[in-house]
Chains A and B, each alone.
Chain A
Amino acid sequence: MKKLIILSLVSLLFSIAYAQESGKKLPQVSVKTLNGATVNTAELSNDGKPIILSFWALWCKPCINELTTISDVYPDWVDETGVKLVAVSIDDARSSSKVAPTVSGKGWEYEVLLDINGDFKRAMNVNMIPHTFLLNGDGEIVWQHTSFSEGSELELIELVRRLNRGESIN
C-alpha cells in the first residue's frame, strides 16, 4: 500500500518533470566566495548576458582539463560574447583551502564559488562531474551537459553565440 502510494507519487512527479518546458532558474543556496563571503546562488547574474556554470573539483581530472582548455580561449570568449564562467568547486573541507591557490596558480580568470557540503550540487541534481549548465541572459537554465572531451568547449561557445543571437537552443 505504502509502496503503491510512493510509486504513483514518483511517477506523477516524473511525468510533470519531463513535460515541463525550460524556464528553470537557479535555486536559492548559500555558497562561499574565495574570500570567505557568503553568496546566494539565486542572485548570480551577468548583466543580461549568458552564464556558464561548471561544477568541478580538484580531484577530478576531466574537470581540470575542461577548465584549463577553456582558460586558454576564455578572454576571447568574453570579448566576443560577454559570457561569464562560474566555476563551482565541490571540494570539501579536505581540499577547499587549496582551491584559491590552485586557481591563481593556473591563471584561471573565472568567478569561483565553494560548495563545501554539496548543497548547491544537490539542488542542481548533479551526480557526476564535470557537469556544465548554460544560463541565458534571463538566468534560465537552457542547457546542461555532463563529462568533458577535447572539443566539447567548441560546442559550448557555439551555444552561447546562438543564445546571443536570440535563438532557442532547447
Chain B
Amino acid sequence: MQHTKYSIITLMVLLGLSFFLKVQAQGLLEGGKVSGNFQLDAQIYQADSAIGANEVAEKMLMNSFANLIYTQGNFSAGLRFETYLNPLLGYDPLYKGSGVPYWFGTWRNEKFEITVGHFYEQFGSGMILRAYEERNLGFDNALEGAKVVFKPIQAVTLKAFAGKQRYFWDKGPGLVRGIDGDLSINDLFKPEADLKTRIDIGGSFVSKYEANEDIIVNDTSLLILPENVASWAARININRGGFNVYGEYARKMNDPSAFNKFIYKEGESMLLQASYATKGLGVLASAKRTDNMSFKSKRTETGSTLDINYLPALTRQHAYSLAAMYPYATQPNGEMAWQAQINYKIPRGSKIGGKYGTDIAINFSRVTSIEKEVADGETAIGVPGTKGYTSPFFAFGDELYFQDLNIELQRKFNQKYKILLSYIYMKYNIDVIENHPGDPLVEAHIVIADMTYRYDAKNALKLELQHMSTQQDKGNWVQYMIEYTIAPRWFFNFSDQYNYGNDNKSEQFHYPTLAMGYTYGSNRLSVSYGKQRKGILCVGGVCRTVPAASGLTVTLTSSF
C-alpha cells in the first residue's frame, strides 16, 4: 500500500516535471534541433514442420528501436531506445528486454571533438578497430567510454578513446584503448595548392586489457595468459588522376583465445588495393592476407560478438537472393584472397551500346587457406598452449575456400524497357565456411534476368528470374518475382523460390511470399506473408543466419 502511494506521488511529480521541462525545454531548444528515427519489425509465426519452421510459443515476436538526436550549435546529444518483445527468430535471445543501451553527448569546436557515453569508430580499414552497428542483423559492438578527436592543424587528425564494448544489455569484460593519427601530406606542405598527386598516411595502436583467468588446455596445462594485448597498423593512400593505391598492414601480439584454440602466435594482416577510374571505365585489383587476426574483448567468446576489429571479405556481395545463398565470410584464423573487377560502359549512341549505352561489370575473386608449418621447437600444427605454427607470408594454401566469377550486363533500350542479365560461377567451401565437416565443395552456376517495363510516368512492372544449378548441397533452385510499383508510394510483389532439384523428393519445397508496401515521405510500411528459407542474410559487411520461418511480417520505419 505504502509502495503504491509512493509510486503515484512519483508519477505525479514526474508528469508535472515533464510538463515544466517541456515548457523550459522549448525555450532552451530555441535554435536547437531534434531529429530521430523509428523502426518496428514484427512477425506472427506459423509452424511449418516441412520447411523446418518451428512452433513459436509467443506466436508473435517484435524488435523495435527509436533514435533521438538533439543538436544545438556545437553540442549534440542522443539516445536509442531498443525493445525486443521477444527478439525475432534469428536474433540472439540475449536481446530479450527493453532499455536505452546507447546514449552520447558530443561537444565540438574547430580543434576538438569530445564524446562521452557510447560511440562508434573505425581506424583505417578497421583491421585493428571497428565499432559499428547493423541494426537489421542485431550486430552492435558500440564502445562505452570517452573519445577525443583533436585537429591541431588542418593536415593532422588525432583520435584517442577508451571504452568497453556492448554485449547485448551488458558490456564485455575487456577494456579497449586506442589512438590513431591521420596525416595529409598535401595539406602539410602546400595546403592551398591543388596538386595532382595526393598522399595521406595514417597509423594506429589499439590495446585490450582483460584480467587473467584459469584456462586449462590439453587436460593438464594451466595457461599463463597475456592480460594486455597490443596491436598496431599503418596505412597509406596515394591518389593521382584516376589512379588510387591503398595499402594497410596490421599486427597483433599473441592473444590465445577460444577462437584461435589458445595458440601463442602473433597475428597479422595486409591489404593492398589499386584502382583506376576514368569516365566510362573502372578497374580494380586487390589482395589481402589474414593470419590469426581474430581480436575480441573476451578471450572465451567464439560467436559474432565483442569483435574489436573488422576483417572485410574480399569478395563481391551479391544482391539477388539465389546468388546470395552462398555468401563468403572472412576466416579470421587465416586466408589469402585476391580480387579483380572491371566496369565499362559501352558508350551511348554507339552501335553496340545502343541509345543509352550498356553497362558491363566483370568481377573475380578467389580465397584460399594460408600455408602452415610446424613452429620451431613444436611437434605439431595448432596445438593449444603452443606457438601454433609458422606461415610463409606470400604463399597461398592448397585449400580453396571460395571463388566467384560474375558477369553483369545492364541495358536500357528506350523509355519503357530495360534489362539486367547476369551469370555467376561460384565455388563455396561449405565445410569450412558453414562448419559442415565432410560436405563437398559446392559448385554453382547462376543465371539472372531482371526486366523492367514502365507503362507510364508512375506505373512499372518488374520481372525477375533466377536459376541456380548445382550438384551439391540442396541441388537446383529457381526463383521468380513479379513486382508492380506505383511511384512514389506503392509496391506489390509476389515471389517464389522452388528447390526443384533437391535429391530428396520430399524436400522439394516452394517458398512463396506475397508482399506490399506504402511509402509516405520517409515513412514506410510494408507487410509480407509467406515462407522464408533457412539461410544467411547479409547486410553491409556482416551476415547472420536466419531460420526457416512462415507467417506474417510487418515492418514500419520512419525518419524525422
> Please, which residue of chain A has its CB at the minimum distance from the CB of B324?
A59
B384 to chain A, nearest CB (A): 31
Is A78 among interface residues, defined by CB-CB distance under 8 A?
A: no
* Contact, CB under 8 Å: A23 / B559: no
Give the contacts of B270-325 with A (CB-CB under 8 A): 273, 275-284, 286, 310, 312-314, 316-320
Q: Give Cα A144–Cα B244 distance, bound, in whole angstroms.
A: 34
Is A45 among interface residues, defined by CB-CB distance under 8 A?
A: no
* Contact, CB under 8 Å: B279 / A143: no
B243 to chain A, nearest CB (A): 10
Partner of B22 from A10, A16, A28, A106 at Cβ < 8 Å: A16
Partner of B487 from A15, A122, A143, A150 at Cβ < 8 Å: A150
Q: Give Cα A68–Cα B343 distance, bound, in whole angstroms.
A: 14
With A97-B275, A101-B282 already in contact, the answer to whether A150 and B22 are too (CB < 8 A) is: no
Partner of B312 from A90, A92, A104, A123 at Cβ < 8 Å: A92
Is B212 among interface residues, defined by CB-CB distance under 8 A?
A: no
A19 to chain B, nearest CB (A): 8
Is A81 among interface residues, defined by CB-CB distance under 8 A?
A: no
Partner of B122 from A27, A116, A151 at Cβ < 8 Å: A116
* Contact, CB under 8 Å: A152 / B71: no
* Contact, CB under 8 Å: B488 / A152: yes
Number of interface residues of A (CB under 8 A): 72
Partner of B488 from A24, A57, A119, A151 at Cβ < 8 Å: A151
B69 to chain A, nearest CB (A): 7
* Contact, CB under 8 Å: B343 / A127: no
List residues of chain A with CB within 8 A of the CB of B133: 118
The dominant DSSP class at the B interface is: strand
> Please, which residue of chain B has its CB at the minimum distance from the CB of A107?
B345
Q: Give Cα A151–Cα B11 distance, bound, in whole angstroms.
A: 51
- Mark contacts of B24-63 with chain A using CB atoms, 8 A cut-off: 1 yes-contact digit, 0 otherwise: 0110010001111101000000000000000000000000
List residues of chain B with CB within 8 A of the CB of A92: 126, 132, 310, 312, 540-541
Is A39 among interface residues, defined by CB-CB distance under 8 A?
A: no
* Contact, CB under 8 Å: B14 / A5: yes
> Please, which residue of chain A has its CB at the minimum distance from the CB of B330?
A94
Partner of A17 from B36, B200, B239, B410 at Cβ < 8 Å: B36
B291 to chain A, nearest CB (A): 18
* Contact, CB under 8 Å: B560 / A149: no
- Mark contacts of B78-117 with chain A using CB atoms, 8 A cut-off: 1 yes-contact digit, 0 otherwise: 0101000000000000000000100000001000000000
A153 to chain B, nearest CB (A): 8
The segment out of B219-227, B354-362, B465-473, B546-554 that lies at the interface is B354-362
List residues of chain A with CB within 8 A of the CB of B540: 57, 59, 90-92, 94
Q: Give Cα A72–Cα B314 distance, bound, in whole angstroms.
A: 31
List residues of chain A with CB within 8 A of the CB of B281: 104-105
B114 to chain A, nearest CB (A): 13
Most buried by B among A13, A91, A144, A154: A13
* Contact, CB under 8 Å: A105 / B519: no
With A97-B284, A101-B282 already in contact, the answer to whether A68 and B560 are too (CB < 8 A) is: no
Other than the given A12-B18, A17-B560, A151-B454, 15 more pairs (CB < 8 A) read A4-B11, A6-B81, A13-B68, A13-B70, A58-B317, A94-B314, A97-B284, A97-B286, A101-B341, A104-B277, A116-B122, A126-B559, A127-B135, A149-B460, A150-B452
Residues of B with Cβ closer than 8 Å to A? 10-11, 14-15, 17-18, 21-22, 25-26, 29, 33-37, 39, 66-71, 76, 79, 81, 100, 108, 120-122, 125-126, 130, 132-133, 135, 157, 182, 184, 198, 200, 237, 239, 242, 244, 246, 273, 275-284, 286, 310, 312-314, 316-320, 341-345, 356-357, 359-361, 410, 412, 452, 454, 456-460, 462, 485-488, 490-491, 517, 519, 521-524, 538-541, 557, 559-560
6 pairs, CB–CB < 8 Å, chain A vs chain B: A12-B25, A17-B36, A36-B198, A101-B284, A105-B277, A105-B359
